[in-house]
């Protein structure tokens, strides 16, 4: 799994940071990419990367503020031009479907692929053989959701040395072990699947929060996650503003990560008020509360591999 940050700014684009968008690359897992929020010019950010819009099968929108959705009609439309014919599903709050469809009707935009909308409510909003996605409502000035993506446990590997040592012939019997079935050899020996298959590998949990002030709901969504992505629009000097505008500070985000016992905290949605030379202090303030904090910037890519964030 890879995280490609396309926009890490707050409110409006700046020269340093575009508005919100994050690509979650699940190419090794399921051959798909999922996009979280789609601020204005997200497709321009994609042009500066190797990401392929036709690989995006799902878009999750946290809330209807412009800095999270104004890039959506353009992205959807260009996906048609780029030969996208795979269906696409958009998950988001009530009103999103109406906004997109109205925009397409008035601009006479026609897509070459089926587009489906799912109106998000709290609880499980998507599940397949590999992933469960849960939504929880946060505390912002408009309805806003956070998403918790849980990868299901991966089947354990077949331990070939053990299989060979026990004299199991190559062929269909090996497939039986992978299904969890015990196998009887021609000489009558019974070999248990549990003896030749490693224990299942735990899947990852990734929590992506939308705009929010400090709240219990964020802690719940992030509980024991491997990675939580939390907004940090303000800092300790502007804590009053944060609460008034439904946002969090760097320190509040770190408190959520610490209380939820997550492994890594990635901060995004930074206000343009913070200039590059402010960022080391901004980061240090969060790390005082939660040491495994990382500041994101546009076009930053992280790889999750063997329980490590690279
Ligand atoms: Zn925002
Ligand atoms: Zn917002």
- Please report, in tens digits, the pLDDT of each residue of the chain (310 residues total): 999 999 999 999 999 999 999 999 999 999 999 999 999 999 999 999 999 999 999 999 999 999 999 999 999 999 999 887 899 999 999 999 999 999 999 999 999 999 999 999 999 999 999 999 999 999 999 999 999 999 999 988 899 999 989 888 888 888 888 888 999 988 899 999 999 999 889 999 999 999 999 999 999 999 999 999 999 999 988 888 898 999 999 999 999 999 999 999 999 999 999 999 999 999 999 999 999 999 999 999 999 998 899 9
Smallest-distance ligand from the CA of 11: 1
Q: How far is the CA of 16 from the centre of ligand 2 (A)?
A: 19
Smallest-distance ligand from the CA of 20? 1
The two tokens of residue 160 are: 């070939």
State the Cα–Cα distance between residues 21 and 45, nearest whole angstrom: 9
Q: How far does residue 43's CA lie from ligand 1's centre (Å)?
A: 18
> Nearest bound ligand to CA 17?
1
Q: How far is the CA of 8 from the centre of ligand 2 (A)?
A: 13
CA of 40 to the centre of ligand 1 (A): 12
Q: Which residues are catalytic?
A: 67
Which ligand minimizes its atom distance to the CA of 19? 1
Rounded CA-CA distance 212/106 in Å is: 32
Ligand nearest to the CA of 39: 1
Residue 147 Cα to ligand 1 middle (Å): 15
Spacing, Cα 211 to ligand 2 middle (Å): 5
Distance 210 CA to ligand 2 centre (A): 8
pLDDT value, residue 278: 95
Distance (angstroms) between ligand 2 centre and the Cα of 308 equals 30
Residue 178: its pLDDT value, please? 82
């Amino acid at each position: 799994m890879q995280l490609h940050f396309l926009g890490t700014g707050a409110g409006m684009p700046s020269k340093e940071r575009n508005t919100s968008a994050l690509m979650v690359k699940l190419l090794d897992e399921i051959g798909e990419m999922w996009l979280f929020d789609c601020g204005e010019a997200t497709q321009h950010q994609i042009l500066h990367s190797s990401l392929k819009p036709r690989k995006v099968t799902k878009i999750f929108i946290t809330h209807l503020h412009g800095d999270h959705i104004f890039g959506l009609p353009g992205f959807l439309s260009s996906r048609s031009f780029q030969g996208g014919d795979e269906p696409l599903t958009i998950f988001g709050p009530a009103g999103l479907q109406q906004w997109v469809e109205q925009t397409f009707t008035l601009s006479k935009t026609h897509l070459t692929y089926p587009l489906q909308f799912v109106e998000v409510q709290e609880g499980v909003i998507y599940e397949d053989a590999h992933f469960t996605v849960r939504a929880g409502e946060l505390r912002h000035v408009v309805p806003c959701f956070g998403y918790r993506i849980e990868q299901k446990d991966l089947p354990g590997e077949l331990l070939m040395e053990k299989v060979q040592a026990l004299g199991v012939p190559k062929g269909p019997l090996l497939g039986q072990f992978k299904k969890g079935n015990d196998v009887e050899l021609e000489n009558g020996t019974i070999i248990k699947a549990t003896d030749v298959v490693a224990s299942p590998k735990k899947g990852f949990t990734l929590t992506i929060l939308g705009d929010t002030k400090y709240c219990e709901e964020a802690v719940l969504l992030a509980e024991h996650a491997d990675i939580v992505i939390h907004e940090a629009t303000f800092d300790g000097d502007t804590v009053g503003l944060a609460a008034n505008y439904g946002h969090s500070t760097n320190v509040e985000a770190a408190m959520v990560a610490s209380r939820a016992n997550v492994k890594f905290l990635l901060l995004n949605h930074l206000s343009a008020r913070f200039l590059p030379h402010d960022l080391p202090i901004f980061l240090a303030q969060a790390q005082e509360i939660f040491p495994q904090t990382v500041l994101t910037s546009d076009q930053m890519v992280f790889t999750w591999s063997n329980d490590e964030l690279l």
